[in-house]
Structure 1
């Protein structure tokens, strides 16, 4: 239970650099290689029903908005 509460605290604090619950001293940014970016793009492309419309019906629109796709396929990852 305490671990779950800690995770929620860190998740909720991700946009607050002054929050001491986030281990900022451990943050690292990994820049993906061209091959890693290609693998990420191929992985995202496998989820066709979430990134492409299923039909012309507005209810069949892609589930993932462009900003989520951009996050999934970006060239850097921030890790702790």
Structure 2
């Protein structure tokens, strides 16, 4: 596992179990096969505040950056508990 992946895994730890699970799911299942643009979008999501991320994941708002919005959409439509 490379250093960048480890750094992202650490940044997925948000202190809220639900966000930890959703972000960690994308990292573990999608990141390696994702395009560089989606990887960049995911890294950008990790810079956002938790309330904003949570709203986007619940569909109460939308990321303005297209690659971030694409990652959010993948999480919302493909993640299953």
Give TM-score, length-normalised by structure 2.
Answer: 0.30
Higher helix share: 2
Say which one has the larger Rg: 1
Q: Greater relative contact order: 1 or 2 (C-alpha under 8 angstroms, separation 6 or more)?
A: 1
Query: TM-score when scaled to structure 1?
Result: 0.30
| Structure ranking higher in strand proportion | 1
